[in-house]
Amino acid sequence: MTEGRETDAAERPVELAYRPTAGELASALRARARSTGAGRFQRGALVWTVAVTTVGALLSSAGSGHRDTPWPLYAGVVVFGVFMTAVPWLQARRLHRLAERQGDICGTVDDTGVRLTTAHSSASHDWHLYSRYAETPELFVLLSADKSAVGFAVLPKRAVAGPEDVDRLRAVLDRRLVRADDAEAPGVPRSRGRAVGRGVGSVGLLLLGLLLFFFAFVAVQHAAHPDRFPGIQNNTAPVSAVMLGLGALAAAGAWWLVRRMPAMRIVTAVLAVLVLLAGGAVLYRVGPMLHCWGSERIARGPEGSYVCYHL
């Protein structure tokens, strides 16, 4: 009899009752972006744009011509980055205004599809309309079969009666759809190729970090050795500091790429620590010069301190 009751519970439709919020819609849009190639490309392009702009601003402010730095351009890029980050929220606000007109939503989900009813409309969606779904701590987001997932449906977990119904809803989705993150599961051929790419990228970032630390070391050689290069030197300490920061970011990025790969994560963490130790040795040399950040020239005194010159 217990077995029969479990079978009946599994076959019984999962009932939902909710009213979408703007925060849930924004979370659904972000989940959709993470699950599509176009969304990942847009996010990567935004990160690289902000990173390159930040590097350019730091290098410009560190150079001798820092007074001519195009700050309005950099400010415009920052405003653009903030706007692009806020796009999901702005879209969610528009969708929420439309959803508010519909009022409360009631529905059921079972192996035949999704049925949703409001005070002004009703809709029934067969499973062939969706190919996969994404799960967040608060939501299930059903994604249409096209690459950009233009169509999507939001099923909040709070819409069901209790935790057991959340599990039942997840079970239905697992039977009828594919999880959007299944491509990351170990053993999938596509995942193996992606894992190799991440490993190669991680090694490349570690080598880049080490190379940046080397350039940071070379940049301050003249100022650090007045016995070999006497006199007042160009102040390259700010440029060296920027390279140190970029090297540290490269090491952190190397670990981030393989953070979900246990074996590679441990190896990368060990190598990243070694790379960062090399950066720490360079920082030990550059640190005493940084109080002259805005100076164009620098000289090391006999006692080891540095004197700043504004020419």
Q: Is the model's pLDDT at 168 over the cut of 90?
A: yes
Which of 16-30, 41-55, 94-108, 224-238 has the lowest average pLDDT? 41-55
| CA 298 to chain CA mean position, Å | 39
Question: What does DSSP assign to residue 261?
Answer: -
Task: Tell me: pLDDT of 56 over 80.
Answer: no
Q: Mean pLDDT, to the nearest integer, of 243-262?
A: 86
Name the least confident of 63-72, 221-230, 248-257: 63-72
Question: Tokens 């599809």, residue?
Answer: 113
Cα separation of the two ends of the chain: 91
Answer for the pair 265, 258: CB distance below 8 angstroms, yes or no.
yes
Q: What is the mean pLDDT of residues 209-229?
A: 85
What does the pLDDT read at residue 187? 41
Query: Element (H or E) spanning 131, and its range?
Result: strand 130-135
pLDDT surpasses 60 at 164:
yes
pLDDT digits 0-9 by tens, 70-118: 666 667 767 777 777 777 777 778 877 877 777 888 989 998 888 988 8
Q: Tell me the chain's radius of gyration from C-alpha atoms.
A: 28
Round to whole Å and give the CA distance between 191 and 225: 51
Counted residue by residue, the chain has a size of 311
**Alpha carbons 307 and 217: distance in angstroms, whole number:** 20
C-beta of residue 139 within 8 angstroms of C-beta of residue 153: no
- Residue that is written with structure tokens 């849009």 in the block: 29
Packing angle of the helix pair 37-62, 22-34 (nearest 10 deg)? 90
Of 204, 218, 222, 311, the residue nearest 268 (C-alpha): 204
> Rounded to an integer, what distance in angstroms lies between the CA atom of residue 261 and that of residue 178?
22
Strands 178-179 and 233-234: unpaired
Token reading at 224: 């650090």
114 close to 140: Cβ distance less than 8 angstroms: no
Q: At residue 166, does pLDDT exceed 80?
A: yes
8 A C-beta contact, residue 147 and residue 38: yes
- DSSP β-bridge partners for residue 153: 142
State pTM to two decimals: 0.54
Are residues 89 and 21 in contact, defined by beta-carbon separation less than 8 angstroms? Answer: no
